[in-house]
Amino acid sequence: MTQSGAEYAETVQYVAQGRAKGRSLKPLRVLLPFLRPYRGPLIGAVLAMVVAASATLIMPAMLRGLVDQGFSASRIEEISHYFFLFLAAAGAMGVSGATRFYFVTWIGERVTADIRKAVFDHVLGLTPAFFEVTRTGEVLSRLSADTTLVQTVLGSSASFAIRNVLMAVAGIALMFLTSWKLTALVVAGVFVVILPLIAFGRWVRKLSRESQDRLADTSAHAAETLNAVPTVQAFSREDDERARYAKATEESFVIAILRTRARAVMTAVATFAVFGCIVGVGWVGAQEVLAGIMSPGQLVQFIIYAILVGGAFAAVSELWGDLQRAAGASERLVELLETKPAITPPANPKRLITPAKGAVRFENVSFRYPLRPDTAALDEMSLSVEPGEAVALVGPSGAGKSTVFQLLLRFYAAQSGKISFDGTDIAELDPTELRKHISLVSQDPVIFSGTIADNIRYGRPGADDEAVRNAAEGAAALEFIEKLPDGFNTRLGERGITLSGGQRQRLAIARAMLRDAPLLLLDEATSALDAENERLVQQGLANLMAGRTTLVIAHRLATIQKLKRIVVMEDGKAVAEGSHDELVAKGGLYGRLAALQFAAAAQ
Ligand SMILES: Nc1ncnc2c1ncn2[C@@H]1O[C@H](COP(=O)(O)OP(=O)(O)OP(=O)(O)O)[C@@H](O)[C@H]1O
């Protein structure tokens, strides 16, 4: 169960390495697997596009007939016939346009929803190491802004682009049939136009990546600040935060405008060049008509084709920018999807014997946090806890107590040594399976938005109301819950900010009680309680600990004084162990801590 620095580097690859520097639309390829399941609507959309393009392209041919045959009263029927055909073509354009719009929008929405789910599902499985280097706001921005960009492209730009390419290709073929000479002139002109467009396109793509990055920075900053409004206000830092946000927003504005300018120039150059080219060719055509080489109807047909083709090219050049932005966004989404969790379940995970007993063993475990490779958080740590035993971990701040929990929960993998649960190396278990056997009450419990009952039930979804109530009672939370306006159905704010720290802790304890797992991890579980409530909760905890293996981290020695086994940690190692009295008798670190705390309490 060793994890090298290299593996960690892989975890944070997209941050560390920067992004692949492709300049094409290739990243859009990654959307293909998401499109594959929707062949039906895709075929529908393509058919509708083909019908729309055909209906558009047939019109100039009809116009040619109309012009060449001339308008005279004797041809009234034929002329009406042409207009009837125009009407039919218009109808076909309307219906196929609507069909294309429906299918394409449907695909855009569907695929974006799938991508959002895939990214969220994936990110939720990444280990804490990933979140140490990635701000939540950045992930959120990818989930919303980047997926929205992809949606715009799939839901409209791509189909416009494809339709215009279709029009251009078919239009050029028809132009060729109408007059190959003039067509050759147009094609030559268009090539002259395309080369500068490609250069522009690259520039726009670079700018749009930057603008997306800035947007992500801005939202990350906003999320961080908004989550800490009381702290910001308490330190009177509102103006600084406003200034920081304004600066980030302005920067992203400047880049967005640069991008827009580039696109504006690109559009102007493209439009003028294409239509200028058509005008020139039209002039050559007029000479041919005058010389009797071409009929006027042919010239009209040719010019309309040329305008359609020119319009199609102009549209594609404008959409090119959109497509490139979406390519950038897809690249960022895929980077997220491809980030591998630092810890993955083994190919053939072992299964725990049921019912699990909760025996825990650390054998010479050494561990350094990925972001602090120079300091050992655990240094050859050994610890053995029998099933049903309660052991306290004490020691100065930074001694590595919480790290023991982090490793047991397999949020990180130790670099050397072995950690086993019921005799099985935890590296050989599926982490999700392992965690099902662990209940954690953390120092700063998280309360989710929802009701009090929902929050307790988080420990064991599906538990009945009575079990929830019993858990609350055991955690000494019943009294305060019943005083709330809606009792167990009281809704809590986004992060339970309407509860006091002590109340949150009691909810977290109730959650752990309901979870009913064989191994209980208590990280300063009663630190936010007053003496009265602590006494009540201690009783609940005692009930909870009975028959379970428990590891307790405590700063206040009074809370663990009665436990038979106390392990003293210092600098990532267990340096002493014994009962309170034994350790006090030995003196040492524990003796000093106890002397300080109990002397203070006695005063
Ligand atoms: N995610 C992290 N990344 C890098 N270093 C960390 C991380 N978490 C903890 N550390 C470091 O690892 C060492 C052990 O930390 P740990 O949280 O296990 O200590 P502790 O004994 O639980 O302390 P406390 O009682 O203050 O909670 C400390 O030096 C700490 O700074």
Average the pLDDT over 427-454 and give the result: 88
Q: Which of 128-137, 140-149, 173-182 is the most confident on average?
A: 173-182
CA of 409 to the centre of ligand 1 (A): 15
CA of 367 to the centre of ligand 1 (A): 11
Average pLDDT in the chain: 83
pLDDT tens track for 30-69: 888 888 999 999 999 989 988 988 888 888 888 888 888 7
**Is 132 touching ligand 1 by the criterion CB < 6 Å?**
yes
CA of 406 to the centre of ligand 1 (A): 10
Average the pLDDT over 459-476 and give the result: 89
- Which residues are CB-contacts of 108 (< 8 A; sequence separation ≥ 6)? 151, 152, 153, 154, 155, 156
Nearest CA to ligand 1 atom 9: 403
**pLDDT exceeds 60 at position 6:** no
Burial 444-460 (b: 16+ CB within 10 A, else e): ebebeeebbbbbbbbbb
**Is 369 touching ligand 1 by the criterion CB < 6 Å?**
yes
**What's residue 273's pLDDT?**
77
CA of 277 to the centre of ligand 1 (A): 69
Identify which of 369, 379, 415, 552 to mutate to test ligand 1's pocket (most ligand atoms within 8 A of the CB).
Answer: 369
CA distance 327 to 315: 18
Determine the topology of domain 349-437+518-530+548-603 in CATH: Rossmann fold (3.40.50)
Comparison of pLDDT for 376 and 354, the residue scoring more: 376
**What's residue 532's pLDDT?**
75
Identify which of 402, 567, 570, 575 to mutate to test ligand 1's pocket (most ligand atoms within 8 A of the CB).
Answer: 402
**Is 397 touching ligand 1 by the criterion CB < 6 Å?**
yes
Reported confidence tier of residue 602, pLDDT bands at 50, 70, 90: low
**Is 444 touching ligand 1 by the criterion CB < 6 Å?**
no
Nearest atom of ligand 1 to the alpha carbon of 406: 18
Average the pLDDT over 391-404 and give the result: 91
**What's residue 418's pLDDT?**
93
- Which residues are CB-contacts of 184 (< 8 A; sequence separation ≥ 6)? none
Domain boundary assignment for the chain? 9-338, 349-437+518-530+548-603, 445-516
CA of 575 to the centre of ligand 1 (A): 17
Do 96 and 309 touch, CB atoms closer than 8 A?
Answer: no
**Is 521 touching ligand 1 by the criterion CB < 6 Å?**
no
Residue type present at position 88: A
pLDDT tens track for 543-556: 778 888 999 998 88
pLDDT tens track for 71-100: 666 777 878 888 888 899 899 999 998 998
**pLDDT exceeds 90 at position 365:** yes
CA of 376 to the centre of ligand 1 (A): 10
Fold agreement (9-338, 349-437+518-530+548-603): no
Average the pLDDT over 471-492 and give the result: 86
**Is 371 touching ligand 1 by the criterion CB < 6 Å?**
yes
Determine the topology of domain 445-516 in CATH: Rossmann fold (3.40.50)
pLDDT tens track for 319-350: 877 787 788 888 888 888 888 888 888 888 88
CA distance 248 to 219: 9
pLDDT tens track for 270-310: 778 777 877 888 888 899 889 988 888 888 888 888 888 87
Q: Give CA separation, 414 vs 9, 12, 216, in Å.
A: 16, 18, 33
- Which run of H or E residues covers position 391? strand 390-394
Identify which of 397, 556, 557 to mutate to test ligand 1's pocket (most ligand atoms within 8 A of the CB).
Answer: 397
Determine the topology of domain 9-338 in CATH: ABC transporter transmembrane region fold (1.20.1560)
Do 1 and 330 touch, CB atoms closer than 8 A?
Answer: no
